[in-house]
Amino acid sequence: MAATYRKERLDRGIKARSDDIFALASYRDLAYLLLPRLLLIGGLLLVPLLEGVLGLYWLNVILIACTIALLALSWDLLASVGLISLGHSLFFGVGSYIAGALNYSLGWSPLLTLPVAMVAGALICTLLIYPILRLRGIYFALITLALPLLFMRVIEATKILGGTEGLSSLSPLPGQPLVLYIVLAAVLVCFFGYRRLIDSDYGLVLRAINDNDRSVMASGINIYHYKAQAVFIAALPATFAGAFLTHHYRIVGMPAFSLEYSILPLTSVIVGGQGSFAGALLGALLLVPVSESLRAFGTLRVVLYSVMLVIFTVGLPEGIFPYIRRKYHQFERPVPVEEGS
């Protein structure tokens, strides 16, 4: 009789060796651990130097991809605490408008407006969201969906901050490649910072709030303070991204609160994989250039986007990155199934 086989997944030898034993045995183990990270950092830092090969246009695209990556990382952190936001453009827009307003009316240079917009924006967003932190699941998501649209309509109706016209002719940022390095540095700091954070004890509390908030409460921890802090920390890269793009394009307007800045990071994280920040980064760096290259298709591009979002949400909820990580750490082999006795 032919034997039937099943697939068995095992950790690779090198993973087992380099994982548990703290003293690394060889350069091979070192390389196994460091290579992915070095590749990422090296690769990203090399990109601005490739201006001759890629052209100015694609460097701009990578810049946009990095700002979306910042938004995606921010979304991922909030999701790790259990707060799913369908309106991330709130953070983006608040950051954009603060930077734009400071530059327009007070004439501050980007060196000042960027950090101020980042911190002040994060504070304002935290204060806005604090009252609704008690809500869970879908209710929280619905409010976050409505908030940026509300802001957009209010600005349109009251005509403050430039109204429908927006504020234009703001101060520019230094040109390529320096500006790309700035945003790349922000992405890398945010990425590795968040990973450290979520692995630390503080991050453990955050993840626990996601898993079972009542047990955390029962341990005597005030989850609202932790949630609010998480919102603040998550808002920082998002408001930075908003302020950054404001100065890059030298204009800020109602579209800063548009649905697009909520959907793009959401799609990136779902495609890349939620939980590990690498998935968010990967998703953004993949999706934005692909979307740009599809520009020739016009509106069909949004259709393809949405279809991809559906396919990934339904068929591959954990995203691409966990798949890649599994392939890197584990291997599969067929193993004969024992005949039942």
Give, as ranges, the residues between 109 and 168 that touch another protein (CB under 8 A): 131-132, 134-139, 141-143, 146-147, 149-150, 153-154, 156-157, 164-166, 168
85 with 143: CB under 8 angstroms? Answer: no
Instruction: Kindly state whether residue 223 participates in binding another protein, applying the rule CB under 8 A.
Output: yes
Instruction: Kindly state whether residue 86 participates in binding another protein, applying the rule CB under 8 A.
Output: yes
CB of 278 to another protein, least distance (A): 17
Can you tell me which of 36, 42, 43, 55 binds another protein, judged by CB under 8 A? 55
Closest CA to 244 of 319, 329, 174, 193: 174
Place of tokens 């006795």: 341
Instruction: Kindly state whether residue 36 participates in binding another protein, applying the rule CB under 8 A.
Output: no
Name the residue type at position 164.
T
Instruction: Kindly state whether residue 51 participates in binding another protein, applying the rule CB under 8 A.
Output: no
What is the 8-class DSSP label of residue 4?
P
Region 302-321 residues binding another protein, contact defined as CB under 8 A: 302-304, 306-317, 320
* Comparison of 165 and 199: residue with beta carbon closer to another protein: 165
* Comparison of 116 and 320: residue with beta carbon closer to another protein: 320
CB of 34 to another protein, least distance (A): 27
Instruction: Kindly state whether residue 241 participates in binding another protein, applying the rule CB under 8 A.
Output: no
Q: How many positions of this chain bind another protein (CB under 8 A)? A: 78
DSSP for 137-197? HHHHHHHHHHHHHHHHHHHHHH-GGGTTT-EESPPPPP-TTHHHHHHHHHHHHHHHHHHHH
CA distance 173 to 114: 11
* Comparison of 38 and 217: residue with beta carbon closer to another protein: 217
Region 246-275 residues binding another protein, contact defined as CB under 8 A: 249-251, 253, 255-256, 258-261, 263, 266, 270-271
Mutual orientation of helices 89-101 and 56-81 as an angle, nearest 10°? Answer: 120
Query: Is residue 9 within a helix (H) or strand (E), and if so which, with residue range?
Result: strand 5-11
* Comparison of 64 and 184: residue with beta carbon closer to another protein: 64
Q: Is-cis flag, bond preceding 177, omega within 30?
A: yes
Instruction: Kindly state whether residue 53 participates in binding another protein, applying the rule CB under 8 A.
Output: no
Interface segment toward another protein; rule CB under 8 A; list 6-14, 15-23, 196-204, 298-306 = 298-306
Instruction: Kindly state whether residue 219 participates in binding another protein, applying the rule CB under 8 A.
Output: no
86 with 259: CB under 8 angstroms? Answer: no
Region 175-204 residues binding another protein, contact defined as CB under 8 A: none
210 with 82: CB under 8 angstroms? Answer: yes
Instruction: Kindly state whether residue 214 participates in binding another protein, applying the rule CB under 8 A.
Output: yes
Instruction: Count other C-beta atoms under 10 Å from residue 261's C-beta.
Output: 27
CB of 2 to another protein, least distance (A): 24
